[in-house]
Amino acid sequence: MTTESAYVFAADEQAGFPGSPFSPRHSSGRKVAYAAMAVLIGIAATFGNALVTVNLPVVAGANGIDLVAASWLSSVFIAFNASGNLLLVRSRITWGIPAVTRTLLILYILAALIEIAYPGFATALGVRAISGLAATGLTTLAIYHLLQIFRGRLQPIGLCIGMTLPQFGTPLARLVPVELLAAGQWHGLQLVEIASALLVLAMTTALPLPPSRRGPAFEPLDFVTIGLLLPGLTLLCVAVGAGRYAWWTDTPWIGASLAAAIFLLISGMAIEHFRARPLIQTRWLATRDILRLVGVALMVRFALAEQTYGAVGLLGLGGLNNDQLHGLFVVIAIAMAGGSITAAVTLSERRLPYQVAIAALLIAAGAWIDSGASNLTRPGELYASQAMLGFGACLFLGPALLYGLLRVLKLGPNYLVSLIVVFSISQNVGGLIGSAFLGTYQVIQSKAHAAALAEHLVVGDVPVAQRLSAQGIGGLYQALQREASVLAFDDVFRLVAVIALGIAVWVILVTATKRHAASGT
């Protein structure tokens, strides 16, 4: 291993894992600068893609593509972001985190400039792919900046805060005025993304991290595994993201993509399972503790899709757009900050299961409150419930990852890649699957409610006759469909509440059983 400095680091300043920077003692001013950089870098990791995702329908219309094609943009980002750690963890060991991240940022900026000069669907997909890889590096970079401040026993606090920072990308993206993004046929959006990347590049160049332990890390079979898992995840994400728009059973390529994805993913994991020095420790991932972690993390992301899909979808039925939801997302961002700080302040190994259970209970309570929504519901009425979901999301993330890291520390750094990859996939792909699942459920329930409402429409009824005379059959049909969609969203909220409550009960029961077994009584 080599370093980039002649400075001799003390024993308590050593890097925790290969590829991570050393942690020398810093002045107060430098710590403040690192903290500010961490916040900006962590938010920048997801901010650019969030701008695309939260404006997807209008971005699709501006570029002359339908929602099925537009869904590929966010799906490709998620796939490359989720699988990026397969490539980047060992890249950081080989070349160092600053060099890897700056290279990705430069590629991302160049790709975005090319998209402006030569707009098209193919170039847009390329930008989303590189953006996903860059986001992986930026998330890690934000955490490393915080670990320069929180040293020794306080490092879990830095990890906890660092994991929640990328979550702020979506609520903050909804605060950007649509007029700014739509300028110049949506070049405004691309320019905001480029500006964010340039800011991070300038900051990390002006005030770099300390050097890191570096050395050879890649093995030939790593590239075979990556060559199978990356396209497998991409096909999975594209199929899942488009499923509710193109509809699962009506579009043959969705089934073919899912089948190919399963084959590629199983092939990649089979190679890892029988390798002498695997990139992913499949046997460890199959242990009971890690399966529990992955299961809980996946289900929580399912539940949190209520905020990104359910609440916004419900308000969208009333004709509200992002510019009319600013107050709601300011409240959500404040609640998320509160959840992140609470998780960091109360963090301890013994409390981890209880933090996860409380987070799930908050999500369940918020979703249940939302289940009473109607077509007259407005953003102000969702402040409390959505704040509970935002708080619960950030209360969950840090403790959940720390639970896995504590087990990695007992086994050695070779298991770090496995944990980061599986946790990243559970959060990124899990969120996509959650939105697709809830969206599909909403469509099914909407059709069921529409049929039930239609059965009770009698032309001779006075209210029906008045609506027909005022709006005609078309207006009556639209009103029926809108009411059915609202009732379906209420069903979605109730389902989320049940899922989150089930997670909380299961975590409490497992924890109580383990405590009872440990006490020997």
The pLDDT tens digits for 152-165 are 777 778 877 887 88
Q: Up-side HSE of residue 367: CA atoms within 13 Å toward CB?
A: 31
Taking CA 61 as the corner, what is the angle to CA 57 and CA 67, rounded to the nearest 5 degrees?
Answer: 50
Q: What is the pLDDT of residues 178-202, one digit of tens each?
A: 777 666 666 777 788 888 889 988 9
CATH topology of domain 17-219: Growth Hormone; Chain: A; (1.20.1250)
Is the pLDDT score of 260 beyond 90? yes
Judge if pTM exceeds 0.85.
Answer: no
Banded pLDDT at 262 (limits 50, 70, 90): very high
For residue 263, CA distances in Å to 58, 227, 231, 240 come to: 35, 13, 11, 16
> Would you place residue 13 in the very low, low, confident or very high pLDDT band (cuts 50, 70, 90)?
low
Summarised one tens digit per residue, pLDDT across range 307-341 is 777 777 778 777 777 777 888 889 988 998 898 88
One DSSP character per residue, 245-297 reads: HH-GGG-HHHHHHHHHHHHHHHHHHHHHHT-SS-SS-HHHHTSHHHHHHHHHH
Give me the pLDDT at residue 303, please: 73
Quick one: tokens of 229? 């898992």
pLDDT bucket at 256, cuts 50 / 70 / 90: very high
Q: Give the pLDDT of residue 2.
A: 46
* Token code pair at residue 413: 């750094």
Count of alpha carbons within 13 Å of 29, Cβ hemisphere only?
1
pLDDT of residue 409: 64
Cβ atoms of 357 and 507 within 8 Å: the answer is yes
Place of tokens 């959505």: 386
Tell me how long the chain is: 521
Cα angle for residues 466, 472, 478 (degrees, 5° grid): 100
Give the pLDDT confidence score for residue 240 in this predicted structure. 87
CA 233 to chain centre: 15
State residue 263's pLDDT score.
93
Residues 6+ apart with CB under 8 A from 181: 51, 55, 188, 189, 192
Q: Any idea where the domains of the chain sit in the sequence?
A: 17-219, 220-278, 280-435+495-520
Residue 81, pLDDT > 60, answer: yes
Q: Which residues contact 425 (CB under 8 A, 6 or more apart)?
A: 82, 83, 233
Burial of residue 178, with CB atoms counted within 10 A of its CB: 0-12 exposed, 13-18 middle, 19 or more buried: middle
CA distance 398 to 506: 19
Nearest CA among 111, 173, 164, 119 for reference residue 142: 164
pLDDT of res. 1? 44
Mean pLDDT value across residues 470-479: 65
